[in-house]
Amino acid sequence: MSETATAPSAQARLPDDAPHLLVVDDDSRIRTLLMRFLSENGYRVTTAASAAEARARLDGLAFDLLVLDVMMPGESGIDLARSLRTTSAVPILMLTARSEIADRINGLEAGVDDYLGKPFEPRELLLRIGSILKRAAPPPQKAIESVKFGDFTFHLDRGELTRAGEVVRITERERDMLRTLATEPGETVPRLALAGGGAISERAVDVQVNRLRRKIERDPANPAHLQTVRGIGYRLVVTP
CA–CA gap between residue 220 and residue 13 (Å, rounded): 51
C-alpha R_g of the chain:
26
Supply the range of the domain harboring residue 202: 146-236
Residue 95 sits in the same domain as residue 154: no
Q: 5-59, pLDDT tens digit by residue?
A: 345 555 657 777 899 999 999 999 999 999 999 999 999 999 999 999 999 999 9
For residue 55, give the amino acid letter: R
Whether 141 maps to a domain, the answer reads no
Task: List, in sequence order, the alpha helices (H) in 25-64.
Answer: 28-40, 51-60
Residue 12 sits in the same domain as residue 125: yes
Q: 46-98, pLDDT tens digit by residue?
A: 999 999 999 999 998 999 999 999 888 889 999 999 999 999 999 999 998 75
Whether 64 maps to a domain, the answer reads yes
Residue 45 sits in the same domain as residue 112: yes
Residue 168 sits in the same domain as residue 132: no
CA–CA gap between residue 23 and residue 10 (Å, rounded): 16
* The total number of structural domains that make up the chain: 2
Gap between the terminal Cα atoms of the chain: 58
Residue partners of 166: CB distance under 8 A and separation at least 6: none
Q: 146-166, pLDDT tens digit by residue?
A: 999 999 999 998 999 999 889
Residue 17 sits in the same domain as residue 129: yes
Whether 196 maps to a domain, the answer reads yes
Of the residues 81, 113, 136, which one is the last residue of a structural domain? Answer: 136
DSSP string for residues in 126-158: HHHHHHHHHHHSPPPPPPP-EEEETTEEEETTT
